[in-house]
A and B are shown apart, each in its own frame.
Chain A
Amino acid sequence: MNLFTILISTIFINNYVFAQFLGICPFLGVSNKTETAAGMGVAVTFVVTLASVITYVIHHYILAKLGLEYLQTIVFILVIAALVQLVEMFLKKSSPGLYRALGVYLPLITTNCIVLGVAILNIDMNYNIIETIVNALGASIGFAIALLLMAGVRENFELADIPKPLQGFPISLITAGLMSIAFLGFSGLV
């Protein structure tokens, strides 16, 4: 599979949020404002891409060599947790506003299944290092797009006349479902 196909398919066709339903927690939690959604998108992009590269190296040059593939999950989580800590420290220093806006969702990137999911899928699909990077970038761009689209829609909820029982989370879940169906339209593109 060439790199372009991987990129397009992870962003649109197999969008990790809309098609594979990974990373739903921040998708619903941080999509209130476009600004914080963009910040979250960048933070996740950083963590996912770097985690994919590091886990690729660790898996192929340490775990596989020693026959320790069964340690995959715990080692990957260790890598992700350390990276999230690093991002948190960096944001606290460089952008306290964004740090406060992201709140609890920043450390929660650790448990965001999209990060672990991408890292493990890279290994399972037997991607090489370049393909791994492209796949990780595509996954996180797809995640950021999903977050931004959702934030754009949710900002308009403020002005919309929504029936009372549907206000707040119910309408967000309905919107997420409809967007997921809309993304089905991309299937068959590649």
Chain B
Amino acid sequence: MTAILYPIVVLGGLGLLFGVSLGFASKVFAVETNPLVEAIREVLPGANCGACGYPGCDGCAVAMVEGKAPASACSVGGQSVAEKVASILGVEVGEINRQVATVLCQGDCSKAKNKYKFAGLRDCRSQNILAGGSKSCSYGCLGCGTCVDVCDYDAIHIVEGVAIVDKEKCVACKACIDVCPKNIIELVPYESEVIVKCKSNDPGKVVRANCSIGCIGCKICVKNCPEDAFSFENFLAKINYEKCTNCGICVEKCPTKAIFSDIEKVSLKAQ
């Protein structure tokens, strides 16, 4: 009888002892967490991408509760997450201006010239070290796809040697913006249909020699814009997206077609 009783008593007794002491310890070492933080953390996408500027979703949730970050701080989650967060916090969230990453270069294989043939590692950063990359234009997309590698959302692809962002898939996490050695990827409002897709600060003559679709600094767009939405600096036209009404006049007038537009969409809107 004791052969069965002793093991049961010993094991059960030890288990009980440890259980009680752990229960006591959990009271002593209890960490007080704000239930709001956990509730918000549940709602956030959990990608820990850092696009909000905080270290991971946990950090963002804490900042939201403390009021340091707005309810719409998570660009990945967009409107739906912002609304859920706002309802947890009991605040109003306005319309969010959704932004998407856009590659400001259209100099693909047929339009931009190369100064040498690059046969090294397929990585824009390493190519950039070698005399600023193989493109004659020192501002253009190198097309090695480093941005494609860092995109977690399959939103950016290399087409004809130039990176193109899929507007619908992009969540504005800024991973590609950080990694691009040429700094040609920028956040542009989702609504904007008319974008100057060139970053070249070279004078017109140099641009023309290197690429058939670059901004040559002719200022035709600046003169023709009815909304006065263009600014001009360093031989490069820039659109103020807040003023732009997507009328498409500049797209028609631009001699090199450096001003990109989804023409069909714009003309549909005009109708």
B14 / chain A contacts, CB cutoff of 8 Å: 58, 75, 78-79
A-B contact pairs, 25 of them (CB 8 A): A62-B10, A63-B10, A66-B6, A66-B10, A67-B6, A68-B6, A71-B10, A75-B10, A75-B11, A78-B14, A78-B18, A79-B14, A79-B18, A82-B18, A86-B22, A86-B25, A89-B22, A89-B29, A90-B25, A90-B29, A92-B29, A93-B29, A93-B30, A93-B31, A96-B31
Is B26 an interface residue when CB atoms closer than 8 A count as contact?
A: yes
**Considering the complex, which residues of chain B in the window 1-18 have a beta carbon less than 8 Å from any beta carbon of chain A?**
6-7, 10-11, 14-15, 18
* Interface assignment of A74: CB less than 8 Å from any CB of chain B: yes
A85 at the A/B interface (Cβ < 8 Å)? yes
- Inter-chain contacts of A90 with B (CB < 8 A): 25, 29
Contact indicator per residue, chain A 82-120, by CB within 8 Å of chain B (1) or not (0): 100110011011001000000000000000000000000
A62 cross-chain contacts in B, Cβ below 8 A: 10
Measured between beta carbons, the chain B residues less than 8 angstroms from A89 are 22, 25-26, 29
B7 and A71 contact, CB distance less than 8 A: yes
Q: Which residue of B lies closest to A93 (CB)?
A: B29
Q: Is the interface of A mostly helix, strand, loop or mixed?
A: helix
| Contact between chains at A68 and B29 (CB < 8 Å) | no
CA distance A71 to B26 in the complex (A): 28
CB of B256 within 8 Å of the partner chain? no
Q: Are A74 and B29 in contact (CB under 8 A)?
A: no
Complex: chain B residue closest to A82, CB-CB:
B18
B235 to chain A, nearest CB (A): 40
The answer for the CA separation of A175 and B140 in the assembled complex, in Å, is: 42
The interface residues of chain B lying within 8 Å CB-to-CB of A74 are 11
Whether B126 is near chain A, meaning CB under 8 Å from some CB there, is no
Q: Which chain A residues lie closer than 8 Å to B22 at the CB level?
A: 82, 85-86, 89
Known contacts A82-B21, A85-B22; is A92 also within 8 Å of B7 by CB? no
A187 nearest CB across to chain B (Å): 39
Bound form: Cα–Cα A71–B15 in Å: 13
Chain B 22-41, CB-CB to A under 8 Å as 1, else 0, gives 10011001110000000000
Interface size, B (range): 10 to 19
- Which chain B residue lies CB-closest to A90? B29
Tell me, in angstroms, the Cα distance from A65 to B26 when the chains sit together.
32
Task: For the complex, give the distance between the alpha carbons of A1 and B15 in Å.
Answer: 35
B57 CB to closest chain A CB, in angstroms? 12
Find chain A residues with CB under 8 A from B6 CB. 66-68
**Residues from chain A with Cβ under 8 Å of B10 in the complex:** 62-63, 66, 68, 71, 75
| Minimum C-beta distance from A116 to chain B (A) | 16
Q: A75-B10, A78-B15 are in contact. List 6 more A-B contacts (CB 8 A).
A: A66-B10, A68-B6, A74-B11, A78-B14, A82-B21, A85-B22
- Of all chain B residues, the one with the shortest Cβ separation from A92 is B31
> Which chain B residues lie closer than 8 Å to A63 at the CB level?
10
Residues of A within 8 A of B26 (CB): 89
Residue of B nearest to A94 (CB): B29
Q: Which are the 3 A-B pairs with shortest beta-carbon distances? A: A82-B18, A89-B29, A93-B29
Query: For residue B26, which residue of chain A has the nearest CB?
Result: A89
Chain B residues in 8 Å Cβ range of A71 = 7, 10-11
CA distance A85 to B18 in the complex (A): 10
Most buried by A among B11, B14, B22, B25: B14
Give the shortest distance, in Å, between B144 (CB) and chain A (any CB).
16
Are A68 and B15 neighbours in the complex by a CB distance under 8 Å?
no
Q: Are B7 and A68 in contact (CB under 8 A)?
A: yes
The interface residues of chain A lying within 8 Å CB-to-CB of B18 are: 78-79, 82
Give bound CA distance, A82 to B18, whole Å: 6
Q: B21 — which chain A residues lie within 8 A by C-beta?
A: 82
